Amino acid sequence: MSCSPEKPNFRSPSPSWTDLWLKNKKALNHVLFTMHLQSRSSSPSPHQLRKSLDFTLPSLVSDPTSLLSDETLLYILSKLPNSQRNSNSLVSKRWLYLQGRLVRSIKLLDWDFLVSGRVFIRFPNLIHVDLVNGSLISPGNSGIFCSHELLSSHVDSNSDPKDWFFKERFVLPSDEIDRGLRILASGCPNLRRLLVVNASELGLLSVAEECPTLQVLELHRCNDHVLRGIAACQNLQILKLIGNVDGFYKSSVTDIGLTILAQGCKRLVKLELSGCEGSYEGIKAIAQCCQMLEELILRDHRMEGGWLSALSYCENMKTLRFLSCKSIDECGWFDEDVGPCPTLERLHLEKCQLRNKESLRTLFLLCQDVREVIFQNCWGLDNEMFSLASVLRRVKSLCLESCSLLTTEGLESVLFTWKEIQSLKVISCGNIKDSEITPALSSLFSALKDLQWRPDTKSLLSAGLVGTCMRKRGNKFFKKTCDWKSLPGA
pLDDT tens per residue, range 398-433: 999 999 899 999 999 999 999 999 999 999 998 998
Sign of the four-CA dihedral 262, 291, 358, 297: negative
CB atoms near residue 62 (< 10 Å): 10
- Is 98 contained in some domain? yes
Residue 47 has pLDDT above 60, yes or no: no
- The pLDDT value given to residue 76: 79
Cα angle 24, 28, 29 (rounded to 5 degrees) comes to: 120
- Is 312 contained in some domain? no
Residue 337's pLDDT band (cuts 50, 70, 90): low
- Is 264 contained in some domain? no
Q: What is the average pLDDT value for the chain, to the nearest integer?
A: 79
- The pLDDT value given to residue 15: 54
Residue 99's pLDDT band (cuts 50, 70, 90): confident
Number of compact structural domains in the chain: 1
- Is 233 contained in some domain? no
- The pLDDT value given to residue 3: 45
- Is 80 contained in some domain? yes
Give the Cα separation of 295 and 348 in Å (integer).
11
Beta bridge partners of 348: 321, 374
Contact 395, 370 (CB under 8 A): yes
Residue 35 has pLDDT above 70, yes or no: no
- Give the domain extent around 78: 68-102
| Residue 57 Cα distances to 28, 29, 263, angstroms | 13, 9, 65
Residue 74's pLDDT band (cuts 50, 70, 90): confident
CB atoms near residue 136 (< 10 Å): 22
Residue 162 has pLDDT above 70, yes or no: no
Residue 19's pLDDT band (cuts 50, 70, 90): low
Section 88-103 average pLDDT? 78
Q: Which residues of 201-235 are buried (b: 16+ CB within 10 A; e: fewer)?
A: bebbbbbbebbeebbbbbbbbbbbebbbbbbbbee
Residue 348's pLDDT band (cuts 50, 70, 90): very high
- The pLDDT value given to residue 128: 95
**Phi and psi, residue 414, nearest 5°:** -85, -40
- Is 282 contained in some domain? no
- Tally the residues of the chain: 490
- Is 94 contained in some domain? yes
- Is 220 contained in some domain? no
